[in-house]
Structure 1
Amino acid sequence: MHPEWPVLIAVHAVAAAYSILFGAFQLLRRTKGGAVHRVIGRIWVAGMYIVILTSFGIRTLNGGFTWLHALSVFTFFTVSIGLWAARTGRIPAHRSYLTGSYFGILGAFVGVVAVPDRRIPQMAVNDLPGLVVWVACILLTAGFAVAGTALLRPARKPAEPAAADVL
Structure 2
Amino acid sequence: MTTIAVRTDPIRRIGLTVLIIMGVTALAVLMRGFGGGADYRTPAWAIQLHLATVIPALPLGAWLLWRAPKGDTAHRVGGRVWALLMIVTAIDSFWIRTITGGIGPIHLFSVLTLVQLPRAIWFAKSSQIDRHRKTMRGVFFGLIAAGIFAMAPGRTLWALLFG
Above 0.5 in TM-score? Answer: yes
**Aligned sequence identity (%):** 30
Determine whether 1:122 maps to 2:122. Answer: no
CA displacement, residues 47-68 of structure 1 (integer Å, 9 cap, x when unaligned) = 1001110011112355311111
Given that 2:99 and 2:154 are in contact with CA atoms closer than 8 Å, whether structure 1 keeps it comes out as no
Structure 1: segments with no counterpart, 5+ residues: 127-167
CA displacement, residues 35-88 of structure 1 (integer Å, 9 cap, x when unaligned) = 110111111000100111001111235531111112211121111100111111
TM superposition score normalised by structure 2: 0.71
Q: Distance in 2 between matches of 1:80 and 1:15?
A: 18
Determine whether 1:69 maps to 2:107. Answer: yes
The 5 Å alignment of 1:34-49 reads 34-49=72-87
What is the number of equivalent residue pairs in this alignment?
A: 125
The 5 Å alignment of 1:74-85 reads 74-85=112-123
TM superposition score normalised by structure 1: 0.69
Q: Distance in 1 between matches of 2:83 and 2:129?
A: 16
The 5 Å alignment of 1:9-158 reads 9-113=47-151, 115-126=152-163
Runs of 4+ with deviation above 6 angstroms: none
- RMSD value over aligned CA atoms? 1.6
Structure 2: segments with no counterpart, 5+ residues: 1-29, 37-42
Computing the radius of gyration from Cα coordinates, the structure with the larger value is 1
Given that 1:60 and 1:66 are in contact with CA atoms closer than 8 Å, whether structure 2 keeps it comes out as no
Q: Distance in 2 between matches of 1:107 and 1:61?
A: 17
Q: Provide the secondary structure at the position in 2 that maps to 1:56.
A: helix
